[in-house]
Amino acid sequence: MHEVSIMRSTLDVAEDQARRSGATHIHSLRMRIGLLSGVVADALRFAFEALRQNTLAASALLEIEEVRPACWCMDCQAEFEVNDYIYECPRCRRPSADLRRGREIALVSLEIS
Amino acid sequence: MCQECGCSQKGPYKIDGQSVGEVVLTPVAAGASSAVAHAHAHGAGHTHSHTHAHGHDHSHVHLDVNLSVLAQNDRFAERNRGAFQALGLSVLNMVSSPGAGKTLLLQRTLEALEGKLRAAVIVGDLATENDAERLRTTTAPVIQITTGTLCHLEAEMISTAVAKLDLRNLDLLIIENVGNLVCPASFDLGESTRVALLSTTEGEDKPLKYPPIFQNADAVVLTKTDLAKAVEFNRETALVNLHRASPKARLFETSAKTGAGMSEWCDYLVRLRAG
């Protein structure tokens, strides 16, 4: 159920940003969610439906961009996609500690007026 | 809020037995956001198609925000980190499962560092002052945070707790996190070095079963090596597993009971301060 509190924070940030720009409506919110973030996109959408009433985003669309996790391999000097919690390069089998993407929970942009 | 297990309500917590009121912050934008008409800056590795809900006029403005939603803990953590760095203080965040041997390792570490580094400890548990009392047998100042129901320490608790310490007269601050192999992985406290413990009695495959806590460790301490034989601990397998889960970590093998490996570990802490 932590998606509810994450969505509440997202709406707080969105309203704050919209008001600073002098807007009275939020028409859409774009979020970026990494697949290793521990946040489930569908649960986030459900929370959005429940929480958007009485906010500037009451009739807004929620767009969620999912980010596939990727690590950097020092030996191969290349990225590889991570499909497991053990980050091992599929080319050389060397483990990597350098996760470049996949843990994001971010509000990317808004459409406002 | 805990991203991992959802124990979302941070109740009142205590520092050295005194209740601490909850601090409520309103989100503040980090840096100015820009209002531009449909100019997107994208990082590599993702694409998106842009659709508009029609049936409304097109006087909409596109506002780039790019703020992390978990920013509240992260902001406290960055503030802590900045304050610690300004003082040249090295800060350890020690994480492990309950009973992995954090407190005994710390007790022996503090004893060994006496006269070499000026150290202090912040220790987190759900309840009791037991760990603080064990650590107060040393000369280091010790602060106990009891979290009530929360399964991890948060950066804001650390900033409240350090107010009770004279940081200017310290070289090393050690934070003993709540014993939990899951949630503390997600909460930056502003530390400079994250240390994960694995005890021989937990088995060789713990790093593979709970990778996130090991993944971002700078050092791993294998504890209770004196019990390895009794529990038929397979050292080779454990080291392979540890390397797979935490490839960047420095490894130390210790027995706080017999003192084996303690000098390498303590030398590392002294060098952290120097580096």
Q: Sign (positive/negative) of CA torsion B72, B74, B77, B83? A: negative
State the nearest Cα–Cα gap between A64 and chain B, in angstroms. Answer: 10
Distances (CA, A) of A31 to A40, A47, B69: 12, 14, 9
Structure tokens at B106: 């710390």
pLDDT at residue B179, rounded to an integer:
94
pTM flag (> 0.80): no
- Which residues on chain B are in Cβ contact (under 8 Å) with A71? none
Q: Does the predicted interface ipTM exceed a cut of 0.90?
A: no
Quickly state the pLDDT bin for B204 (edges 50, 70, 90): very high
CA distance B229 to B222: 14
Chains A and B form CB pairs within 8 A to the count of 133
Mean pLDDT over each residue of chain B, to the nearest integer: 85
Q: What is the 3-state secondary structure (H, E, C) of chain B?
A: CCCCCCCCCCCCEEECCEEECCCCCCCCCCCCCEECCCCCCCCCCCCCCCCCCCCCCCCCEEEEEEEECCHHHHHHHHHHHHHHHHCCCEEEEEECCCCCCHHHHHHHHHHHHCCCCCEEEEEEECCCCHHHHHHCCCCCCEEEEECCCCCCCCHHHHHHHHCCCCHHHCCEEEEECCCCCCHHHHCCCCCCEEEEEEEHHHCCCHHHHCHHHHHCCCEEEEECHHHCCCCCCCHHHHHHHHHHHCCCCEEEECCCCCCCCHHHHHHHHHHHHHC
Neighbouring C-beta atoms of residue A48, cutoff 10 Å: 21
Contact between B176 and B93 under an 8 Å Cβ cutoff? The reply is no
Average pLDDT score over residue span B5-18: 75
pLDDT at residue B128, rounded to an integer:
92
Chain A residues 61-100 with CB within 8 Å of chain B = 61, 63, 65, 67-68, 70, 79, 85-88, 94-97, 99-100
Within chain A, residue ranges assigned H as helices are 2-20, 41-51
Residue B143 forms beta bridges with which residues?
B122
pLDDT tops 70 at residue B228: yes
Q: Write down the residue that tokens 């802590």 correspond to.
A: B80
pLDDT tops 50 at residue B270: yes
Share of chain B above pLDDT 70, in %: 81
B243 touches chain A (CB under 8 A): yes
pLDDT digits (tens, 9 = 90+) for B40-58: 444 444 444 455 555 555 5
Residue A42 phi/psi, 5-degree rounding, is: -65, -40
Quickly state the pLDDT bin for B10 (edges 50, 70, 90): low
CATH 3.90.550.10 fits domain A3-68+101-112: no
pLDDT digits (tens, 9 = 90+) for A33-78: 998 887 889 999 999 999 999 999 999 999 999 999 999 999 999 9
Which range has highest mean pLDDT (B50-64, B70-84, B220-234)? B220-234
Q: Write down the residue that tokens 């090295």 correspond to.
A: B90
Lowest mean pLDDT among A57-66, A79-88, B42-51, B193-202: B42-51
- Which residues on chain A are in Cβ contact (under 8 Å) with B37? none
Contact between B246 and B217 under an 8 Å Cβ cutoff? The reply is yes
pLDDT tops 90 at residue A103: no
Residue A22 gets which letter from DSSP?
T
Q: What residue ranges do the domains of chain A occupy?
A: 3-68+101-112
Mode of pairing for the β-strands spanning B219-223 and B193-199 = parallel
State the nearest Cα–Cα gap between B139 and chain A, in angstroms. Answer: 37
> B23 or A24, which is more confident?
A24
Quickly state the pLDDT bin for B7 (edges 50, 70, 90): low
Neighbouring C-beta atoms of residue B167, cutoff 10 Å: 15
